[in-house]
Amino acid sequence: MIPVRDSVANRYPPVVTWALLATNCAVFLFQAALTPRGQETFVYVFSLVPARFFALLEAGALVEAFYPLLTNAFLHAGFLHLAFNMWSLLIFGPSVEDRLGSRVFLGFYLIAAWTASLAHAFFNANSLIPALGASGAIAGVMGCYVRLFPFARLVLLVPVLFYPVFVEAPAILFSAVWLAMQLVPGLITLLIPGEAGGIAWWAHIGGFAAGWALGPALRRRPRGYRPYFQDEGVFGFTPDGRRHWRRDLWE
């Protein structure tokens, strides 16, 4: 399931979302321009290696231990990895930034990235495999989006064999399916010993949980953000993305 559009009305331009997208792309281009040896060194220094994190923590090297918890969220393993993460950020980021405010949204995004990294490190404490990518932070944005707009309508692309099928679903249903797809393999990795590699399931889960928990507390208060009137939503939808129950307002 790939979200391609949402129905939440926004009042302000998502400048931080655009800045985060540009920063991730710039880091990826810088990384791609390095020599193979340079890329290896760059990834090792700025990605999250759980075993190294705990070793540095035990040695008291707090700065060296903690900065990869954030820097890894701006690295990507390849173009498709980058493209999918940035697309998800563009779908969910603007509405969350609109309701939180740009400065609060930036802090929230970094907290979600930090929490996602900690969750990954905790559940893969002995792993020597570098973890990198913005997906944990973006999972936090998604968790906040679903908490603020549970019944917003999402248009989803569902590949069926070789055919693209578009369906509409409420955000809460999409998130429930998505979260189940993270929890099941995440729990399997706990039951099967061995090196953690591939997808950082627990980073996704940790980031989503942080976003879900923090969303309502960080939302702008009415004094700083005038509530929408019912007819200010996207055509056919209320401002929070629900389908409008009064058809006479938009027919």
Distance CA 204, CA 198 (A): 13
Average pLDDT value for residue range 1-10: 88
Q: Which amino acid is at 107?
A: G
Q: What per-residue confidence (pLDDT) applies to 193?
A: 59
Read off the pLDDT of each residue in 84-106 and give the average, rounded to a whole number: 95
User: What are 189-227's pLDDT values in tens digits?
Assistant: 888 755 545 678 899 999 999 999 999 899 988 777 777
Separation between Cα atoms, residue 135 and residue 208, nearest integer Å: 10
pLDDT at 70: 94
Q: Is the dihedral of CA 149, 136, 176, 234 positive or negative?
A: positive
pLDDT of 194 reads 57
Question: What is the mean predicted confidence (pLDDT) over 2-20?
Answer: 92
DSSP 123-167: HTTT--S-B--SHHHHHHHHHHHHHH-TT-EEEEEEEETTEEEEE
Work out the pLDDT band at 186, boundaries 50, 70, 90: confident
Q: What is the pLDDT of residue 235?
A: 67
Closest CA relative to residue 27, chosen from 77, 74, 87: 74
pLDDT-derived band at 249, boundaries 50, 70, 90: very low
Q: What integer is the mean pLDDT of 101-117?
A: 95
Residue 90: its pLDDT value, please? 96
Question: What's the pLDDT score for residue 59?
Answer: 85
Q: Which CATH class is domain 2-193+200-221?
A: mainly alpha
pLDDT at 150 over 90: yes
